[in-house]
Amino acid sequence: MGKFNVDEFKKKYQNSASMPEVRYTLPISKQEVFYKPITTKQQSAMLKAMEAKDVKLIEKVLDNIISVNTVDEIDVMNMTMVDRKSLLINMVTQSIGDKFDLSLECPECGKNQKMKIDLTKIKDPTISDDKLSKEVTINDYVFTLSIPTRKKMQAIEDTFDVDDDEKVSVVDIADDLITVVIKSVKGEGIEDEDISYEDSIELIKTLTPIDLKQIKEYIDGLDLDSTNKTMFKCKDKECNYKQEIQIQITHLFSK
Ligand SMILES: [Zn+2]
């Protein structure tokens, strides 16, 4: 008998047939994925990134969890943000737990409030087929709009300087959605070419506010903010503030 080798063990343990594999169907692409649960090591990597308030690192840790834990490797960068978030929530439910106590600051009175979240009651988002991709015509050019992929969102993150005192929040990123929903453009002399994030930014500058309105309407119609929501109620009797809030992945790792 040889000496116990922890690295060998880890490899064998993670790949062992008895390690449960969870099946999940991505809500948008309808792709069926099998994954292994999140490990405590991955959980602590996430907590460290959250403590550092480093958005880029947080997203990288999450990308890594998806690519390492899914059985047939999944193309994380080309996943839509909706599928990515839904898969992560499902992974958390299966590996960390489905009930969470959150402490959130009431936006009205500023007091910290405890609330319970039951992930089993959070429904996967539904987005109708006609909204997954939409063509709008702007000055003889046809723009194809679609739900942003992880790759495009990462392009936004890369433009942020994480050394800034003001750390970037998810809300800031959401404001930039307009730069990431334009998938491709076709028109005279241009054949349905995919557009990079950098080109999107330049392209948007050439459009008029009225042109942009069509793109903004598409984003509003997607109603991405309505997914994975739960009700926040302030327990302060004089405040009684009520609002639907969106569950963030980071909420679920603080357990
Ligand atoms: Zn309040």
Q: Pairing state of beta strands 242-246 and 112-118? A: unpaired
- Strand segments (E) across 54-207: 99-105, 112-118, 133-138, 141-146, 182-187, 190-194
Instruction: Write phi, then psi, for 57 (nearest 5 degrees).
Output: -70, -40
Q: What is the pLDDT of residues 48-93, one digit of tens each?
A: 999 998 888 999 999 999 999 998 878 999 999 889 999 999 999 9
Q: How far apart are the CA of 227 and the centre of ligand 1, in A?
A: 23
Q: How far apart are the CA of 153 and the centre of ligand 1, in A?
A: 32
198 contact partners, CB below 8 Å, separation of at least 6: 155
Report the alpha-carbon distance of residue 166 to residue 85 in Å, rounded: 24
CA dihedral 100→25→231→172, nearest 10 degrees, is 90
Q: What is the pLDDT of residues 3-36, one digit of tens each?
A: 888 888 777 776 666 667 899 999 989 999 999 9
Mean pLDDT value of segment 131-142: 90
Q: How far apart are the CA of 235 and the centre of ligand 1, in A?
A: 7
35: enclosing H helix or E strand: strand 32-35
**pLDDT above 80: residue 163:** no
Query: What domains, with CATH codes, occur in the chain?
Result: 6-124+227-253 (no CATH), 129-226 (3.30.2220)
Q: How far apart are the CA of 234 and the centre of ligand 1, in A?
A: 5
